[in-house]
């Protein structure tokens, strides 16, 4: 049964825009790549940034660079694979910086899948980090947002989660699970004042993608990626998918018959 027009208007009205100026933002996976670029961009827009990753020395260097530009950032090291650590990190952030307005769980990794040399442990390890790590972050922060009746979540998934791609079975499955999860919990959290933007990047130049040995169409810089993400959050976009040419192609691919989709992918990769 289709939703009534009135219900659609109410749901659309609940998509909240956010001005990053002065907001407390918790960002994981902040020590390199998109995360590091996001830390700088958030601080440039006036956010008070709490950054998390495993390597404290890298976080401290980023904090120092942000301070040199009169921005505000603090380091809260931790491993997203450890739920207790994430709860401790959130407690430390809110005790020292105030309530978290926006959480951006970004930590993740990528490996090339080789189904011909199938290793289930490899697939499960990627799922645990890329999907389970986000769940740990959300379990740590969502109860506090629910108590306040407000909050914003912008977990980083991927265009690779839209449909199967060569050598991306492990990575794509983890991101697909994350997208599905976020689309589902949005029904429950949005009416309670918690907005969700799902961030789906394409190919972004980072130390991770520097290892790729194949052509990456529409590759963009981490700095450009961070600006697009922050723009999307400030506009309250439900899905922040980029870069545009690739996001359009991959988005269309969800609706193509399998033989047509597979032929296009074969041409691109």
Residues involved in catalysis:
171
The full 3-state SS of 140-197, as one line of letters, equals HHHHHHHHHCCEEECCECCHHHCCCCCCCHHHHHHHHHHHHHHHHHHHHHHHHCEEEC
Q: How many CB atoms lie within 10 A of CB 256?
A: 14
| Helices of type H across 15-82 | 33-44, 56-68
222 class by beta-carbon count within 10 Å (0-12 exposed, 13-18 middle, 19+ buried):
buried
CA distance 115 to 148: 46
Task: Count H helices and E strands in the chain, helices first.
Answer: 10, 10
Q: Which long-range contacts (C-beta less than 8 Å, at least 24 apart) are formed by 262-268? A: 265/165, 265/166, 268/215, 268/217
């Amino acid at each position: 049964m289709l939703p009534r027009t009135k219900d659609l208007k109410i749901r659309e009205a609940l998509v909240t825009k956010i001005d990053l100026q002065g907001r407390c933002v918790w960002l994981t996976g902040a020590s390199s790549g998109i995360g590091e670029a996001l830390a700088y961009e958030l601080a440039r827009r006036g956010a008070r940034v709490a950054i998390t990753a495993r390597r404290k020395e890298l976080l401290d260097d980023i904090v120092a660079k942000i301070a040199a530009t009169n921005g505000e950032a603090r380091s809260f090291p931790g491993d997203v694979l450890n739920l207790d650590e994430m709860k401790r990190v959130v407690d430390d952030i809110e005790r020292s910086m105030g309530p978290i307005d926006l959480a951006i769980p970004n930590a993740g990794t990528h490996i090339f899948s080789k189904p011909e040399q199938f290793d289930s442990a490899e697939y499960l390890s990627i799922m645990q980090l890329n999907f389970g790590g986000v769940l740990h972050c959300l379990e740590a922060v969502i109860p506090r947002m629910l108590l306040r009746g407000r909050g914003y979540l912008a977990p980083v998934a991927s265009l690779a989660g839209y449909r199967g791609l060569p050598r991306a079975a492990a990575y794509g499955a983890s991101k697909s699970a994350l997208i599905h999860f976020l689309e589902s919990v949005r029904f429950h959290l949005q009416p309670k004042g918690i907005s969700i933007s799902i961030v789906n990047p394409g190919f972004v130049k980072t130390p991770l993608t520097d290892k790729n040995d194949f052509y990456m169409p529409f590759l963009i810089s981490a700095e450009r990626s961070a600006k697009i993400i922050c723009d999307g959050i400030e506009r309250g976009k439900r899905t922040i998918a980029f870069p545009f040419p690739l996001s359009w192609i991959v988005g269309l691919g969800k609706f193509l018959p399998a033989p047509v989709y597979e032929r296009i992918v074969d041409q691109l990769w």
